[in-house]
Amino acid sequence: MSPPVMVAMSGGVDSSVAAALLVEQGHQVVGVTLKLWGGTSDSGCCSVSDVDDARRVAQQLGIEHHVFNFGEHFDRHVVEPYVDAHAAGRTPNPCIECNRHVKFERLVTRARALGFDLVATGHHAAIVPDETVASADGEPVRRIGRGVDRAKDQSYVLHMLGQDQLRGLMLPIGHLTKEEVRAHARRLGLRTAAKPDSQDVCFITATGGRQVFLRDRMALTPGRVIDGDGRAVGRVDAVELVTIGQRKGLRAAGGGAPRYVTDIDLGTATVTVGPRSDLFVERTAITDLGWSHLPSSGPFVVQVSAHGPTASAVLEDDHLRWHEPHQRVAPGQSMVLYHDDQVMGGAVAA
């Protein structure tokens, strides 16, 4: 008999198939759904219907299903920092913080307390042994690798995982494309086979959006938009909602070439815009640098958004120096460092 596995089941097709494949492999599987966001949700993975879908898939698979209420932990470590980041003019990654503090800290701790050494999720990523590095304790070094389906790859949002978490983690669908996942779900008759993918931020509704969510939790400051010469060219409703590189929603007068946000000054509620060429820099300051195992100076392939393009860089003290000039990264954005499609570590744009 294979060892028991606790599977995080969100109510979507990916985690449903992850649980199903582990059952087929002979594991004793227990499904767990996390109750995180207690407010309105119409675009994420925290609705009552999602919990019901997970429960009913577990029934189809003949496995136990439980619900863990981590709502208070989620508010403290994900929602409140999200609001604080905007108030400070930073662009946060709430899904990364949810993975860091909830799914791969609180859940793993609970799983081990209940006797489960293995935890599985439905992320499109892989656990890759690094044969080039020797571990101090004799255990093989593991890294997060990209999923086979590059369009769905979620290695970016798992970059913060260290060796202790990786040794007990299973990612059963990382070798499958999304269509192959759905084909497995159809083969097994799972109710989630045709269920659409959830959106990124479960607590931001499609109807209200980020502005409505933040307006109820912090003061939003109207701001003016100026060009590089200091001339007023427009205004914004909330300077806290503006992001470096943004083009739309600036209410900037005049035609001509497109203009992008190149600087944000919260103190004076001023947004500076300019041509796209003004966004490019040779180096990007970073903070909160962490590694999946040992530090390295690179070179790295760097990804600065969940499904964005990549660029080459090397580490120089508290900066990344780009191989070619790179567009400025919004402060607060995670920057994930890869080598041969494996996560080496990550940092946050300062």
> Catalytic site residues?
98, 202
Helix, strand or coil, per DSSP, at residue 48: helix
Instruction: Decide: 37 and 203 in contact? Cβ < 8 Å.
Output: yes
CA angle 71, 14, 192 (to 5 degrees): 90
Helix (H) or strand (E) holding 169: strand 169-170
CA angle 264, 348, 155 (to 5 degrees): 125
Beta-carbon-side half-sphere exposure of residue 274 (alpha carbons within 13 Å):
14
Can you say whether residue 324 is alpha, beta or left, with left for phi > 0 and alpha for psi between -120 and 50 degrees?
Answer: beta
CA–CA distance from 301 to each of 1, 137, 146, 159, 199 (Å)?
A: 41, 29, 13, 13, 26
3-class SS of residue 260: strand
